[in-house]
Structure 1
């Protein structure tokens, strides 16, 4: 059976193509994709700033209904609504064998090196398929992978009760990181974001905001933190400018978390003496190890439906990417079988 898919062809080209559904293995699940959301990584793949293996159907944040299962599948059955943890690990390299599978030397990702979610159908191994609770919509279920990444980042940052947390970037991930930081006991959460629409959402959720287009970020944050700086600074914009700024906002003994995906050809200078004198902790956060399950447990409390601000059919994939890049909202969802009424 043939199906429609948005395939990255390389050379910054995304194209709608017809593909043939592969034969299912014993542990495979055929998913009729209900919703897939656009991530910043998808842009970076198309721009050539993120390693992918074209031709490949992109999209790694998605949910769908089980259409068919292999003979050995036991955890899901046809018509179940499921979400996908989109990574396959080799199980044999050093990192897999010391409990750090997400750093696997031979990792493959659906939507990056394996066909992903901007398609009518996708075949996924059972071990990466999660049945979702009945109360959750397919649109919110598609966001589980992103929420799992945010949970991993917050766990890495080790936020303490009463901490001042500054988040550079108030997009979808920035808002989720802020919500999780507050759940973990942060005393104040500051979102630094130039987009007025996103700032308004952050304010509505009760976060303190700084608009870098009209305010001096460092001065405002120092004033709010009694001249000390933030205990935790999270770079969530994926921009070299905000990565540099993180070093200016951190207090002594603080933690800087690089969460956003800064293009690999971008570099910054810093003084090792600053890290030495301030006893800083500088961390990265990569994907979502062992946090997809946790994301399903907490996602209901994050009020994410309101952050899906535009919806498109699969045939409108180019328009969906144009809208997402405009920054007029938060998450853009693509529905391969039609936008729900």
Structure 2
């Protein structure tokens, strides 16, 4: 079978490899769509992974091709999406059902071979059946949607809230849609440039702010008549946006940091004063896994897809064959490529 293999940062190859054989406790999956996560980009182009060579990819949908003899609840032909985390189920945090904090986890595409390939094996616990009306494209984006919901839940979004979303990438775009579903009164999206912001508007943002053209905090102050936001979620991981996020929150506001930055964050007097005097909560949000595994963030995502309340369709910028993976990552590294959610279709468009 074909697989996208990373040998070291910047060295990505499409190779013919042996088709995996499932153990008695696994299924063999035919990968129908696999997305590029924001975390894949620094992994492939800069930092590398825990093992090498490695088949990358962890956001995917698939069809069951073969089942091990101990598999009970799945059969050949079942359509699934696959949570990429494999918790140890034994550490303190697993025992509490906080699987995102597992201390001894495995993970598709970073610690074991992932799904940017024609086939991959997965344990039964990592399979979620798809309703008939959820297609493989939406299903492959369940992971970013679940991360969006997790961030909103960490920030305790409530009906009637004013919600600011920094970053109109895929997770931010899902957060816009889900915030509206959860009853937000006003959703404000902030990013750089009008291409992503126009998609944010399509996804339901009531206001869009191009922070390249105007002061985002001042614009939020004007939109909210000085009240600022009840909830602010940063999906960029960029320190300037994180600072703006803190300064965008009103009294008793909640600020959740979701975007991975790999950078430090220095708070100035203004930010510390805003946190203290406004009694603002600064909250971390990591991944999306709770009990019963994989948890509410995943099952709610699938439910909302099935109900037609959210969709990935506006954010899909590329549908590509596996052979294009090395070149697309080179283009991303070089800069200048506009992209949002990139999907690889290992078997072409047959799912449509």
TM-score between the two structures when normalised by the length of structure 2? 0.90
Paired residue for 2:257?
Answer: 258
TM-score between the two structures when normalised by the length of structure 1? 0.93
Paired residue for 1:281?
Answer: 281
Figure out how many residues of one structure are paired with residues of the other and give that number: 338
**Structure 1 residue 333 and structure 2 residue 343: aligned?**
yes
Asked whether the 8 Å contact 2:137–2:312 carries over to 1, the reply is no
Asked whether the 8 Å contact 1:193–1:199 carries over to 2, the reply is yes
Asked whether the 8 Å contact 2:181–2:309 carries over to 1, the reply is no
1:68-110 per-position Cα deviation (integer Å, ceiling 9, x unaligned): 1100112221122211011111111111112212100111110
Pick closer, same or farther for the CA change 1:193–1:32 going to 2, 3 Å: same
Which segment drifts farther, 43-52 or 28-37? Answer: 43-52
Asked whether the 8 Å contact 1:233–1:249 carries over to 2, the reply is yes
Paired with 1:323 and 1:81, the residues of 2 have a C-alpha distance of 32
**Structure 1 residue 292 and structure 2 residue 298: aligned?**
yes
Paired residue for 1:123?
Answer: 121
Paired residue for 2:52?
Answer: 54
Structure 1, unaligned stretches of length 5 or more?
none
Pick closer, same or farther for the CA change 1:13–1:240 going to 2, 3 Å: farther
Paired residue for 1:168?
Answer: 166
Asked whether the 8 Å contact 2:202–2:314 carries over to 1, the reply is no
Asked whether the 8 Å contact 1:38–1:321 carries over to 2, the reply is no
Moved over 3 A (4+): 47-52, 270-274, 319-327
Paired with 1:76 and 1:19, the residues of 2 have a C-alpha distance of 26
**Structure 1 residue 249 and structure 2 residue 282: aligned?**
no
**Structure 1 residue 201 and structure 2 residue 199: aligned?**
yes
SS of 1:233's equivalent? Answer: strand
SS of 1:145's equivalent? Answer: helix
Asked whether the 8 Å contact 1:314–1:338 carries over to 2, the reply is no
Structure 2, unaligned stretches of length 5 or more?
290-294
**Structure 1 residue 234 and structure 2 residue 233: aligned?**
yes
RMSD over aligned CA atoms reads 1.9
